[in-house]
Amino acid sequence: MGSVVLGVFDSREQAERAAQELRNKGFHKEISLVAKGEGEKIEETRMGGEEGDTAIEGVTTGGALGGLAGLAAGAGALAIPGIGPLVAMGPIAGLLSGAVTGGLAGGLIDWGVPEEEGKQIEEDIKQGKTLLTVQGSEPRLNEASEILRRYGAHDVNIYHK
């Protein structure tokens, strides 16, 4: 898996704008997003492009996250103990589906995030903030870090597995 950069946004709209900028810079299937989901609906549809290329085209979560069309394949609504319903898109969705009992913090440990930082991110998500992650190589993750900060992310860090 390599390395990953994580950033926490105070609003979903900020995360949407950052994700769109990342896509404009060539990041696609590397992007993941986690947000609190209260009775929200996710629709996964096929996108144009390579045959068999699945991506989130019409993400609708109470009107938010609609701008994330084309995020990496894999979207789901998860119920994480202690947090409640979450919307997870991209590679992190698979990671979290296997880490339901350990919560979000437990899943993030697999990406090299220290337990205490994972717990803080989990608390941020409980409070309605949005986590955006990007996987990749160090030079590309430095670029992604700059984009996350430009769009208002805090607690931006690169972690190595």
- Give the tens place of pLDDT for each residue, 44-80: 322 223 333 333 333 333 333 444 443 433 444 445 5
What pLDDT is stored for residue 84 in this prediction? 56
User: What residue spans define the domains of the chain?
Assistant: 3-40+74-160
β-bridge mates for residue 158, sequence order: 5
Task: Report DSSP letters for 60-115, one per residue.
Answer: EBTTBSGGGTTBPS-EEEEEETTTEEEEEESHHHHHHHTTTTTHHHHHHHTTT--H
pTM (2 decimals)? 0.73
Q: Other CB atoms closer than 10 Å to residue 110's CB: what's the count?
A: 16
What pLDDT is stored for residue 152 in this prediction? 97
What pLDDT is stored for residue 121 in this prediction? 92
Mean pLDDT by 10 residues, the chain (161 residues): 89 93 91 75 31 32 39 45 65 63 75 90 91 91 97 94 79
For residue 18, the surrounding DSSP H or E stretch is helix 12-24
CA triplet 149, 144, 36: central angle to 5 degrees?
A: 65
| HEC sequence for 106-145 | HHHHCCCCCHHHHHHHHHHHHCCCEEEEEEECHHHHHHHH
